[in-house]
């Protein structure tokens, strides 16, 4: 592959635009006010799905070309194509387009170029990544996969493109012409918004005769799960899709079609809302503003309708420039100027639906602007935060993992047992430990007098309970009840039974209800880790999480030395959560949980998105090589 590097006319080599403020507005290029291109600024968006023969070559080209033209922004490259949003002087952007068109790889690419005013809010520019050039190689151009081991659909199976005029015509006639040119009644047509919830709150298509589906997702990677859960709303329908610029619909439409013969009539707005508003400046069927991921924040039609409302007071408001965020999940929220003056913390509508309240949080969490820097070797320039005193901020977010201890343990003891693991994963993971809800009595095996002759321990005299740490369980035997404040010592009725876990079948519903509260008060969590009985509970949580719709939500599970619970759902369903299974091999010296039981539990998970690590270290989580390297490799996929 050969790329030609062209320099723009004028003295712009190595120059960088003066981004000192937020864009006041944006106009299609045809509506530019006539200023000379050497002084007018603009934004360029384009994507292209195509097999890239040499990613390193393409990385070098983008770095060289964009630096020479003084462009800043985001360039994302993958084996299946490119996704680019860059900003600079119009003459530089046009030069970049001209060079791209010289390569046949970009034949048919829709280059969306819009002129704009200079920015006036440097905070927004920094958060959006438009103070420097970032060229990064990624797994996906847009992340559709809810888990990194899910198989992606073939992009060649994407939905049929409809131009802005065709899309408008379909909405206006409340019907759709299928391949057989047969008009379909509007009840058989659905309009699917492929964007995130905060985008839809400032602008959306409104059609009175067509059902509109708003998935209300926090991020694009949640869309595939929504499609899975709501497939009946799509089955047999003529599906119209739209997003900001078109790229998210490409992969999402292919994913819908991959579900079978009853999901084949999928159509998408080519060029997205941006091209639609250029075709219909008065908005057409689109109301409000088009949210964009650059300094402009949003772009409206000539009517400037406001459909957004303040999260707190409900007054009309659609300006995200303050970058207010939910204190729990960090999603953008709309908060009007008056409500911001009250200096309150905010909880988004999704977190409210899941039972989260407006209680106090730490100063770190309450910061309105949280910039996460995970720059790769291909990223050019550095981002300096207003409070960083000129230092570059490099504090990538860690994975938050909820840890469930084993039987007759507690959060404190399990934290000690996993101290080595936590230390070796300290740059990747934050572990959160909780006690199980069922409190157990202390048990002891009394010594006879002969064995106590030379011992300072008196027979049948265990230490006072107030000197002992309480023990808990997720599941208990039928003849055991939680002891609450009456915790006491009891004499063991038998020697240790390695198969005791098979009798611990009660208490699951109480434990699951308790965990829903934990997720509400201490979440969100990226993953859940369980050990022994905690691993069995972890599997059950992953199985149930789809039925509770967000009350318990994780992206992955780490299941250590577990066994399958005897619950009806596990007998008929497969757990479709990405999972890492760690347990002793046949000769692994695990005297607590047999290898076969852990294998049976692993078989309950979808084999296509699970990883198994067998070791020879007994009833523990091993942290020596090569096991720790395999654990890190699994977790790294979710960062």
Angle between helices 272-279 and 164-173 (to 10 degrees): 80
Name 281's Cβ contacts closer than 8 Å, sequence gap at least 6: 301, 302
With left for phi above 0 and alpha for psi between -120 and 50, is residue 431 left, alpha or beta?
A: beta
Q: Which helix (H) or strand (E) holds 341?
A: none
Residue 193 has φ and ψ, to the nearest 5°, of -90, 120
Tokens of 207: 């059609």
Dihedral angle over CA of 600, 602, 607, 609, nearest 10: 170
Name 354's Cβ contacts closer than 8 Å, sequence gap at least 6: 519, 520, 550, 551
Quick one: which of 435, 438, 437, 381 has its CA closest to 413?
435
Residue 177 has φ and ψ, to the nearest 5°, of -90, 120
In whole angstroms, give the CA distance from residue 2 to residue 267.
35
Cis peptide before 103 (omega within 30 of 0): no
Torsion sign over Cα 544, 547, 548, 549: positive
CB 110 within 8 A of CB 271: yes
Residue 69 has φ and ψ, to the nearest 5°, of -95, 0
Render 536-596 in DSSP notation, one character per residue. Answer: HHHHHHHHHTTTTTTSS--SEEEEES------HHHHH--B-S-EEEEEE-TTS--SSS-HH
**Count of residues for the chain?**
639
Angle between helices 533-544 and 508-522 (to 10 degrees): 70
In whole angstroms, give the CA distance from residue 604 to residue 597.
11
Cis peptide before 563 (omega within 30 of 0): no
Q: What's the number of CA atoms in the CB half-sphere (13 Å) around residue 434? A: 22
In whole angstroms, give the CA distance from residue 205 to residue 283.
9
Q: Which helix (H) or strand (E) holds 618?
A: none
Residue 536 has φ and ψ, to the nearest 5°, of -60, -40
Residue 605 has φ and ψ, to the nearest 5°, of -95, 155
Active site residues: 243
In whole angstroms, give the CA distance from residue 400 to residue 377.
25
CA distances from 223 to 248, 354, 621 (A): 10, 18, 34
Tokens of 88: 């600079």
Give 529's strand partners. Answer: 403, 558
The residue to which tokens 């060289």 are assigned: 64
- Long-range Cβ contact pairs of 374-380 (< 8 A, separation 24 or more): 374/639, 375/134, 376/136, 376/137, 378/59, 378/63, 378/134, 378/135, 378/136, 378/137, 379/132, 379/133, 379/134, 379/135, 379/136, 380/63, 380/66, 380/67, 380/132, 380/133, 380/134, 380/135
Name 89's Cβ contacts closer than 8 Å, sequence gap at least 6: 8, 12, 17, 37, 38, 39, 40, 41, 42, 70
């Amino acid at each position: 592959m050969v790329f030609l590097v062209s320099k723009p006319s004028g003295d712009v080599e190595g120059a960088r635009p003066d981004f000192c403020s937020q864009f006041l507005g944006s106009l299609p290029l045809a509506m530019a006010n006539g200023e000379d291109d050497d002084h007018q600024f603009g934004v360029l968006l384009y994507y292209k799905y195509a097999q890239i023969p040499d990613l390193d070559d393409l990385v070098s080209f983008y770095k060289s070309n964009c630096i020479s033209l003084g462009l800043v922004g985001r360039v994302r490259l993958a084996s299946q194509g490119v996704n680019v949003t860059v900003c600079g002087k119009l003459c530089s952007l046009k030069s970049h387009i001209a060079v791209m068109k010289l390569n046949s790889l970009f034949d048919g690419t829709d280059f969306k170029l819009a002129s704009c005013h200079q920015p006036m809010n440097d905070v927004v520019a920094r958060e959006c990544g438009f103070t420097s050039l970032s060229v990064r190689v990624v797994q996906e151009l847009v992340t559709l996969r809810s888990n990194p081991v899910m198989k992606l659909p073939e992009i060649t199976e994407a939905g049929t493109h409809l131009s802005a005029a065709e899309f408008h015509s379909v909405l206006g006639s409340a019907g759709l012409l299928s391949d057989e040119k047969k008009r379909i009644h509007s009840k058989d047509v659905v309009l699917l918004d492929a964007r995130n919830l905060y985008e839809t709150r400032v602008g959306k298509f409104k059609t009175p005769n067509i059902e509109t589906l708003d998935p209300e997702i926090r991020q694009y990677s949640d869309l595939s799960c929504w499609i899975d859960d709501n497939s009946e709303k799509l089955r047999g329908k003529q599906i119209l899709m739209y997003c900001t610029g078109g790229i998210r619909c490409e992969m999402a439409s292919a994913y819908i079609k991959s579900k079978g013969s009853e999901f084949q009539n999928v159509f998408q707005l080519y060029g997205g809302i941006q091209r639609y508003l250029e075709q219909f400046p008065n908005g057409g069927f689109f109301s409000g503003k088009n949210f964009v991921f650059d300094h402009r924040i949003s772009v409206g039609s000539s009517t400037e309708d406001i459909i957004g409302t303040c999260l707190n007071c409900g007054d009309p408001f659609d300006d995200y420039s303050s970058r207010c965020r939910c204190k729990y999940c960090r999603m953008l929220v709309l908060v009007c100027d008056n409500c911001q003056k009250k200096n309150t913390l905010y909880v988004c509508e999704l977190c409210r639906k899941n039972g989260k309240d407006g209680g106090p949080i730490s100063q770190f969490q309450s910061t309105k602007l949280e910039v996460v820097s995970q720059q790769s070797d291909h990223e050019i320039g550095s981002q300096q935060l207003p409070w960083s005193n000129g230092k570059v901020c490099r504090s990538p977010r860690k994975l938050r993992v909820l840890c469930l201890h084993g039987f007759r343990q507690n959060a404190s003891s399990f934290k000690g047992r996993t101290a080595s693991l936590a230390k070796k994963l300290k740059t990747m993971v934050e572990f959160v430990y909780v006690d199980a809800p069922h409190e157990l009595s202390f048990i002891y095996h009394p010594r006879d007098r002969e064995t106590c002759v030379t011992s300072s321990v008196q027979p049948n005299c265990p230490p006072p309970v107030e000197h002992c740490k309480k023990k808990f369980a997720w599941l208990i035997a039928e003849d055991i009840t939680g002891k609450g404040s009456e915790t006491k010592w009891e004499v063991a009725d038998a020697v240790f039974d390695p198969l005791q876990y098979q009798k611990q079948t009660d208490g699951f519903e109480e434990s699951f209800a308790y965990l829903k509260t934990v997720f509400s008060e201490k979440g969100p969590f990226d993953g859940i880790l369980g050990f022994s009985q905690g691993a069995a509970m972890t599997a059950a949580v992953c199985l149930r999480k789809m039925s509770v719709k967000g009350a318990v939500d994780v992206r992955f599970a780490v299941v250590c030395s577990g066994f399958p619970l005897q619950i009806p759902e596990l007998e008929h369903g497969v757990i479709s959560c990405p999972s890492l299974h760690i347990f002793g091999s046949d000769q692994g010296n695990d005297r607590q949980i047999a290898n076969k039981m852990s294998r049976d539990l692993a078989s309950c998970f979808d084999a296509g998105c699970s990883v198994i690590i067998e070791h020879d270290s007994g009833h523990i989580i091993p942290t020596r090589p090569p096991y720790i390297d395999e654990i890190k490799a699994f977790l790294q996929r979710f960062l």
